[in-house]
Amino acid sequence: MSIHDLTVGLPAPKPLRLSETALLLDLDGTLAPIAARPQDVRPDPRRTSLLERLVQKLDGRLAVVSGRTLADVDRILEGCVTPVAAVHGLVLRGPDGVVRETPPHPNLAKAAEGFRAFAARDTGLIVEQKGGLSVALHFRLASGQAEAARACARRLAAETGLVLQEGDMVEELRAPGASKGDSVRTFMAGPPFAGAMPVFVGDDATDEDGFAAAQALDGAGVRVGAPRPTAARCGLIGVEAALVWLEASS
């Protein structure tokens, strides 16, 4: 059965059994509300305290798997989580704090230049550079440019050989390499995650690989947000519901 054949209505996830669980959490749209501009997402004492409690009760079996840069994840979460897969898995920091990073892509500068030229047409278009690995074009503040932005991204992907990563009101061009699903498998293969049941929680199309990877390892995918076709088997209506569910387990 394909992902598009699945029903969009999902049951709520059951309470977590922390002694058996490994949590893998997306950030934007999952732990933090989506903001009009990426830089507008800031640290939050409630979220930081929750994650600190979960890290302790899970004996370290908690990782953040995000499209953001590693520096951005640490800024927003105040450095409270060590295992992080950033830039959709192209950067991975293990539980030991060691960082592994995909080499920069030689054509990323061309893609960034193309996005910036396109963004000059509307002040609501935002270009986000993620080092030498990825560049994103956000059009949440310029929704009328959505189709043109998608066409621009597809053209640049064909010209540069970069991977097109489509998200919620954003088109991203990234270096080929690891995905969020690969990051789930990497974390679950080693301590302290190995042997636990992976639960991947995310909100966007970029998280579908994570859902599939967790479920292939006898775990679960939890989709956050409005109903849509998904591989996840459980759902929560939004960020607040996700935080309440996690707080009930902490």
Pick from 210, 229, 208: which is nearest to 219 by CA?
A: 210
Sheet holding 163-167, edge to edge: 126-130, 134-138, 170-174, 163-167
Radius of gyration of the chain measured on its C-alpha atoms: 18
CB 205 within 8 A of CB 221: no
Task: Let me know if 111 is exposed, middle or buried by CB neighbors in 10 A (0-12, 13-18, 19+).
Answer: buried
From the list 5, 26, 28, 204, the catalytic residue is 26
Q: What is the DSSP letter of 220?
A: E
Instruction: For residue 26, indicate whether it is catalytic.
Output: yes
> What is the DSSP secondary structure assignment for residue 3, as one 8-state letter?
G
Residue environment code for 150-172, b if the CB has 16+ CB neighbours within 10 A, otherwise e: eebbeebbeebebbebebebbbb
Residues tagged active-site? 26
